[in-house]
Amino acid sequence: MLTRLSIKNFVLIEELVIEFSPRFSVITGETGAGKSIILGAIGLLMGQRADSSTLLTGAERCVIEAHFSQLDAAASAMLEEEDIEADEEECIIRREITAKGKSRAFVNDTPASLSLLKRLSEYLIDIHSQHKNLLLGDAQFQLSVLDLYGGSGALLHDYQRQYHAYKALAKQLEETQTRAESLRKEQDYLQFLYDQLEEADIEAEELEGLEEEEKQLAHAQEIQSMLQQAVSALEDDESGAIQALAYALKSVESIRSYHGSAEEWCERLQSLRIEAQDLAATLSDEGESITFSPKRLARIQERIDLIRGLLHKHNVEDCSELLEIKDQLSDQLTQITSSDEELNQLREALATAGEALMSKALELRELRITAARAIEGALLGSLRELGMPYVRFLIELQQLDSPGAMGIDQVTFLFSANKDIAPEPVADIASGGEISRLMLALKALIADRRSLPTIIFDEIDTGVSGETAERIATILRRMGQSMQVMAVTHLPQIAAAGVDHFYIYKEHGSDSTRSHIRHLSEEERVDEIARMQSGSQLSQVSRAAARALLDSVKD
């Protein structure tokens, strides 16, 4: 509920503070006095965009602040999600605009975005102006009326959760199908690449070993010849190294008995002779094992060419990377093979989700049908009370072919105020007065079913007068018993129905014009309603008529 509104340096308002009660309040004043300015200021608190042109001429900063009480639990939860301290007793929204066009918003003194203000205001206040009547022709608004009146909000929330899950599953199926089709197009080629690597049967470090063997086979005769020469150099009876070491050993042994170091030298020479003999045997065995095989060389070179070709084909450096590619190809082929199973599982899951969604949509539809019939009956009574004796109002609910984000219903409000004209869609009705009364009746019908504590009607009285105006006043006053209602009006019947009456007026100075507002006393109300009834020339008769009108609406 809006308890306090302060405006500073906004358009024609230099400084203004209004304290509101929780009842039905009316705001009156001459045309151009500034009623729309106040609504514009509230609109800024609801997240509307602004620029420096809204500032009072010569001002550096404009500040608009509103205090709300009885904060809804959902609104408190929203603030907590935004890390804004929520106070159950009071919520303060402030908007500041500078002469340079910069704008800042605050909720409970914490900086807030305009999007947050818009979302938060949905729980705080509703300004109903003439352009809001266009909502009557909006299918989503019509559905929201049914859901609000029928109490199907929780069911709709559950349905929408299932709907989004269903759409996500459908998207996953589509993406999996696309991916599977793309892989199937490459399946033959992928299989060919895999079979080629499988047939090659490559080992991790095979190429290095083959290249080493190729070198050895290519130089087999040279290796064998050089090894034989080495063995001869070691084993030759006359000039071989082994024979020379034997002579050296024998010579040193001859002095061992009288030379102290000879013993060590003998051991070393003996070790050298044994090592030389062992090396000669090894070289001899190696030479005998090496044979030149043109066939083996050809097979190795062919294998090397195969592996190098595969390395080049797959643009990798070694056999280990080829094996990784083989594993990747195997995974892709397995994925193709298993995609049919995955697709079948997704199709089954989607079908199950679709059945559950349809069941929920039909459940929602039943509640809407019940609400539609109840609204039709309730609205007919209200509209007849508002001066439409021949009114007909029908809610047409057609079932869609498939569920959408709001269910499976397409709703159309049908209306006729004349007994000789068949009901037509509300969007096609031309009479502004009829639409205003229909919207008022709808708002009154759902007012106590909403968690919205404040509603402001901006000239809901357009196109009506006399007895109809009195009936509108009665409805507004009745609404004010369960929620905070405000009405900007030009009709004395509605002004008289207000529990509180605010008067907006202008004061013209020598070089400026300013808008002001004040809460009228009982006597001031008499004069204002008399002015609204009879014009600026007040008389005892006009004042008496105003008092009679005020007395007629007192509880």
Structure tokens given for 180: 């599977």
Position 529 scores a pLDDT of: 92
Taking the C-alpha atoms of residue 494 and residue 502, their distance in angstroms, rounded to an integer, is: 13
85-89, 315-319, 462-466, 468-472: the lowest-pLDDT one: 462-466
Count of CB atoms within 10 A of residue 347's CB? 14
CB distance 504 to 515 below 8 Å: yes
| Burial of residue 144, with CB atoms counted within 10 A of its CB: 0-12 exposed, 13-18 middle, 19 or more buried | middle
Of the chain, the percentage scoring pLDDT greater than 70 comes to: 95
294-314 and 319-385 helices cross at what angle (nearest 10)? 20
**What average pLDDT does range 233-261 have in this prediction?**
84
CB distance 49 to 55 below 8 Å: no
Sheet holding 24-29, edge to edge: 125-128, 454-458, 484-488, 24-29, 500-508, 513-519
Q: Is 66 helix (H, G, I), strand (E, B) or coil?
A: strand
Structure tokens given for 240: 């071989």
CB distance 407 to 438 below 8 Å: no
Residue with token string 């003998």: 266
Position 452 scores a pLDDT of: 63
Identify each DSSP E strand in 13-58 by its residue range: 13-19, 24-29
Asked whether the predicted pLDDT for residue 504 surpasses 80, the reply is yes
Position 170 scores a pLDDT of: 94
Asked whether the predicted pLDDT for residue 177 surpasses 70, the reply is yes
Contacts of 46 (CB under 8 A, 6+ apart): 117, 118, 121, 125, 127
31-40, 307-316, 447-456: the lowest-pLDDT one: 447-456
Helices (H), 122-261: 139-150, 153-200, 206-218, 220-235, 241-253
Position 211 scores a pLDDT of: 80
Taking the C-alpha atoms of residue 35 and residue 13, their distance in angstroms, rounded to an integer, is: 11
**What average pLDDT does range 67-95 have in this prediction?**
84
Of the chain, the percentage scoring pLDDT greater than 90 comes to: 30
CB distance 242 to 276 below 8 Å: yes
Taking the C-alpha atoms of residue 82 and residue 547, their distance in angstroms, rounded to an integer, is: 51
Taking the C-alpha atoms of residue 190 and residue 63, their distance in angstroms, rounded to an integer, is: 69
Euclidean distance between the first and the last CA atom of the chain, given in angstroms as a whole number: 22
- pLDDT level of residue 216 (50, 70, 90 thresholds): confident
- For 119-163, the pLDDT digits (tens) are 888 888 888 765 555 567 678 888 888 998 898 988 999 999 999
Asked whether the predicted pLDDT for residue 371 surpasses 80, the reply is yes
Position 409 scores a pLDDT of: 94
Contacts of 444 (CB under 8 A, 6+ apart): 382, 475, 478, 479
Mean pLDDT of the chain: 86
- Amino acid identity, residue 55? L
Position 448 scores a pLDDT of: 65
Position 432 scores a pLDDT of: 66
- Amino acid identity, residue 322? L
For the stretch 392-399, contacts whose Cβ atoms lie closer than 8 Å and that sit 24 or more positions apart, written own/partner, are 392/416, 392/419, 392/423, 393/423, 393/438, 394/423, 395/142, 395/146, 397/365, 397/368, 397/369, 397/372, 399/365
Position 450 scores a pLDDT of: 66
Position 257 scores a pLDDT of: 81
Asked whether the predicted pLDDT for residue 480 surpasses 60, the reply is yes
- For 162-171, the pLDDT digits (tens) are 999 999 999 9
169-183, 205-219, 256-270, 497-511: the lowest-pLDDT one: 205-219
Count of CB atoms within 10 A of residue 15's CB? 13
| Burial of residue 278, with CB atoms counted within 10 A of its CB: 0-12 exposed, 13-18 middle, 19 or more buried | exposed
Taking the C-alpha atoms of residue 526 and residue 37, their distance in angstroms, rounded to an integer, is: 25
Q: Looking at residue 236, what DSSP letter applies?
A: -
Position 515 scores a pLDDT of: 86
CB distance 166 to 404 below 8 Å: no
Can you give the pTM of this predicted structure?
0.63
**What average pLDDT does range 490-496 have in this prediction?**
91
